[in-house]
A and B are shown apart, each in its own frame.
Chain A
Amino acid sequence: MSRALRLTGAALLAGWIAAPLLPLLVWAFTGRWVYPALVPQELSARAWTRAADPHQQVIAATGTSLGLALATALAATALGALAARGLVLYRPPAAGLIRLVLLAPVLVPPFALAVGVQEVFVRAGLADRPAGVALVHLVPALPYTVLVLIGGYAGYDLRMEQTARTLGASRYAVLRHVTLPALAPALLAAATLAFLVSWSEYLMTVLVGGGVVTTLPLLLFASAAGSGNQAFTAVLGILTFVPPVVLFGATATIMRRHRAVWAEADPPAAVPGSGPPAAVPGSGPPAAVAGAGPPAAVVAAGSGSSAAPPRFGPSDSTPGPGRSAAAPEAGPPAAAAGPSPSATPPGIDR
């Protein structure tokens, strides 16, 4: 009885999630599907041919979207890593306040930011340029990378770098062989989040790009709002959907493999870090190294005050702007942390 109930619940949930997405797959290969037919009257790949036509700008827009998202991911991850390093390893004055300020942009309304930025850019000559759009995408992406990398640095031991230096490694060698490998999962999760924030952005791209910078979401919006060509809208939708999914899958796979390497090398060390609470900044034991820590830390950081570290003082216990891993559009981001549940060893969860 309860088993039947559970299966029904799962089926309902799966149906609810798939309901809007599955029809897209059918629409994308439809030639003619006029109301009230339940199945398409004619199947065709016409919409795909149309998308491949250079006049429709789809290919160019995909390139622009990819370029912007990659640039945003790179810049946001680099800035986030530097800031997290400074906050976690060197504890500057007012670290709690700085952290709050860096996370605040998750709450900033996109319209207000876009019109304000446009005022700045018109004065600075950056209006209607891809570089300006990339700079705007950086603002909402930054909180996610900061948050993820604060988690990534939580279990990081600066003495590893010092030891390598003492043994004669150059600064570059330390970065290449100590810092980057230890932070790899967190860096990857952060970059994925930033990529998705930029990839999904619509309003700020329109307002700051001034119609000159055309990305995939702009084409999708235009088609959905006015064309009446459902097949073409569905094709654009699928094109918008595929890169995030591929990215997630790849990130999850890489993280799982990375963790496996660490787990084999040093099983006891991996265990304490893999439970979300242990991986929170400050509370994680130093032994909880990269492999298991960061993905879990993303989620834990999002979970908020229950696990808030005492380090940053009372100001930190307010859920000010963005104590949290994920803003709605971050949704995708939080998902980047995907593998964390699977990374939890069976023994620790009950």
Chain B
Amino acid sequence: MTVRTPPRLRGLLLAAPALAVVGFAAAALLLAARGSLADGLGRGWSLSAYADLLRDPALTGSLPLSLEIAALSTAVSAAAALAVVGAVSGSRRARAALDAAARATLAVPHLLAAAAFGLLLSGAGLLSRLARAAGWTDGAADFPALVGGPGHTAVLLTYVWKEAPFVTIMLLAAYTPAVRDLETAARTLGAGRLRRLRHVTLPLLAPALTEACLLVFAFTFAAYEIPALLGATAPRALPVEAVGLYRSVELGDRPGALALAVVIGLVIALAATAAAVVSRRLLRARTGP
């Protein structure tokens, strides 16, 4: 805090405590990766944990399942958010109301959303009771297995309920007066609703949409609570499987659990790279080479 410190060095010093926290996290991740490369006793170097993962049918089913859950949640949330934002685009008051509603949903912790959807969608849940009252089913066993069923319907619904508002907020934030000006200009020049959407609105919102999709994908791929509470028992989502292995009393399962952590991290790193490429393309498309 002296005037003599050169400003650039001072900037580094101020950022140092926060960087130390990230450094701590990075060290933790490296140690986890190191542990995945050890033998069953946690010593030496070995790829056996990864080889075991490939041999375990439960685990080979988990990766596609988690990819499917994450991809579907992301796609449906993005489509829903785009549709809703497009529907309210004309009215300032509707946009403000949508923003407030989306924020209210975001305040709900994921775990609470999972618990609430469980009470709503389970065999003895409210929806099942309504179905029986309406005469569609004869009993709880008749009701489709939304919770814990093979389709993972409850998991997907909960994710969309939580993530669509998140994407909506990101899109609304990017939907600036400048974008609306260009839309108005296009309309003045005679562009119809669809052409405006295709050539003006979508390209301008694409960077925000890409970012939102990356965050939603990364979260839904790696999150534990919702598939753990609402998912089927086999195959289980990758994070659920990983936590199960990590908590196993067998010491030899530990490298396997750490290897799953590495796999989860690698998938997210790939997704981030893909998003970076897409957004660079988008930028180049807009500004020219």
Interface string of A15-26 (1 = CB under 8 A from B): 011011101100
Evaluate contact between A200 and B110: CB separation under 8 angstroms.
yes
Interface string of B67-104 (1 = CB under 8 A from A): 00000000000000000100100001011111111011
Evaluate contact between A341 and B22: CB separation under 8 angstroms.
no
Give A338 to B100 CA distance when docked, in angstroms: 7
Q: Which residue from chain B places its CB closest to the CB of A89 in the assembled complex?
A: B11
Give A92 to B8 CA distance when docked, in angstroms: 4
Question: Which listed residue (B14, B112, B223, B229) contacts A110, Cβ 8 A?
Answer: B223
B113 at the interface (CB under 8 A from A): yes
Task: Please report the total number of A residues contacting B with Cβ < 8 Å.
Answer: 112
Give A139 to B258 CA distance when docked, in angstroms: 19
Evaluate contact between B12 and A329: CB separation under 8 angstroms.
no
Residues of B contacting A86 in the complex (Cβ-Cβ under 8 angstroms): 10-15
Question: Which listed residue (B19, B31, B118) contacts A224, Cβ 8 A?
Answer: B118
With both chains docked as a complex, state the minimum distance between the C-beta of A61 and any C-beta of chain B, in angstroms: 13
Evaluate contact between A112 and B29: CB separation under 8 angstroms.
yes
Task: Please report the total number of B residues contacting A with Cβ < 8 Å.
Answer: 118
Task: Beyond A119-B32, A306-B179, A328-B110, list 20 extra A-B contacts (CB 8 Å).
Answer: A17-B161, A36-B129, A91-B8, A102-B22, A109-B264, A112-B265, A116-B28, A116-B29, A139-B25, A196-B109, A203-B224, A203-B239, A207-B246, A221-B115, A248-B103, A304-B207, A304-B208, A328-B162, A328-B223, A338-B100
Assess A111 versus B243: contact at CB under 8 Å? Given A86-B12, A320-B276: yes
A335 at the interface (CB under 8 A from B): yes
Assess A200 versus B166: contact at CB under 8 Å? Given A83-B18, A224-B229, A327-B215: no
Residues on A facing B (Cβ under 8 Å) = 6, 9-10, 13-14, 16-17, 19-21, 23-24, 27, 35-38, 79-80, 82-83, 85-87, 89-93, 95, 98, 101-102, 104-113, 115-117, 119-120, 135, 138-139, 142, 146, 171, 196, 199-200, 202-203, 207, 217, 220-221, 223-225, 230, 233-234, 236-237, 240-241, 244-245, 248, 275-277, 299-300, 302-307, 317-335, 338, 341-342, 348-350
Question: Which listed residue (A303, A307, A331) contacts B162, Cβ 8 A?
Answer: A331
Between A17, A101, A108, A319, the greatest number of chain B beta carbons within 10 A of the residue's beta carbon is seen for A319
Evaluate contact between A90 and B14: CB separation under 8 angstroms.
yes
Among the stretches B46-54, B57-65, B119-127, B193-201, the one at the interface with A is B119-127
B35 at the interface (CB under 8 A from A): yes
Evaluate contact between A111 and B261: CB separation under 8 angstroms.
yes
Residues of B contacting A119 in the complex (Cβ-Cβ under 8 angstroms): 28, 31-32, 35
Evaluate contact between B242 and A105: CB separation under 8 angstroms.
no
